[in-house]
Amino acid sequence: MPLLTLKHLSLFLEDELLLDNLNISLNFSEHIAILGRSGCGKSSLLKVILGLEHPFRLQGSLSCQASCAYMAQQDALLPWLSVIENVNLSQRLQGNKIASKAWKCLEQVGLLPFAYKKPYLLSGGQKQRVALARTMMQETELILMDEPFSAVDAISRIELQIFTKKILANRAMILITHDPLEALRLADKIYVIQNKTLTPPFMSQHIGIHDEITPSVSELHTQLLQALSL
């Protein structure tokens, strides 16, 4: 049984059609990317899937069997908590103390020495790593990512993509992005939002971070760019 199924799902904002006839079926530990230009309603879709408060009217069916963790565009770290407390946020909100897992997650992103620092003392890339550790901390089957690396510099982005790739084993992911290369690196299947609906999925070829970009990948990249610009 798929973790997440969207069947003929349409999103309306008042009477305006935002996204039309979306069909997605996401299986366990499958990674998909939804690629779209800014302002096309990608983030809205993620909010709807997460079940967050949203202003949209839905048509069609959406069923999500999985527990979800969410990683946003901005790091969204709480400035009054230390780094380790931020990582532990999901436990903290349930009234629990810092779990040993929080330390492990922080170690995995390589920020153990910063555990007791306040987040505003970290660089943009480090903050996103803390956000990543916070996401890992939640033992969910599905991770929803909303352009998680768009606000960091190129090198940090690549590092973060490596980390993400590592933690994604055994978990399903939906990645929202406007960067075809990021989609190619992290996802198995790539949907492009075109004319308010999804194209049939492009199958990714799993390029690694340092891998050479082969002609076939390059062709796929071109295809994605073409699909995006339509």
Partner 1 sequence: MSFRFWLKNMLIMLGLLGLWQGTIILFHLPHYIVATPEQVGQRLIHDAPLLWQHTQITLIEILLGFVVGFLLGLFSAISLIMSKILASILLPLMVLSQAIPIFAIAPLLVLWFGYGLTSKIIMAALMLYFPVTAACYDGLRHTPQSWLDIASSMHATPWTILWKIRLPAALPALSSGVRIAISFAPIGAIIGEWVGASEGLGYLMLQANARMQIDLVFAALIILMSLSLCFYFCTDFLLKKLVPWQNQLS
Site residues for partner 1 per CB under 8 A: 47, 50, 52-53, 68-70, 72-74, 76, 78-80, 89-90, 92-93, 118, 120, 138
Q: Which of 76, 164, 159, 90 is nearest to 120 (CA)?
A: 76
What CA–CA distances, in Å, run from 94 to 13, 90, 91, 127, 153? 33, 7, 5, 23, 34
Minimum distance of partner 1 from residue 44's CB (angstroms): 12
Q: Looking at beta carbons only, is 96 or 218 nearer to partner 1? A: 96
Minimum distance of partner 1 from residue 173's CB (angstroms): 14
Q: Which of 215, 61, 16, 45 is nearest to 144 (CA)?
A: 45
Q: Looking at beta carbons only, is 18 or 72 nearer to partner 1? A: 72
Minimum distance of partner 1 from residue 139's CB (angstroms): 12
Beta strand segments in 114-171, E: 142-146
Q: Are 151 and 124 within 8 A, CB to CB?
A: yes
Q: Looking at beta carbons only, is 80 or 116 nearer to partner 1? A: 80
Q: Looking at beta carbons only, is 6 or 71 nearer to partner 1? A: 71
Instruction: Say how far apart CA 89 and CA 98 lie, in whole Å.
Output: 9
Minimum distance of partner 1 from residue 70's CB (angstroms): 4
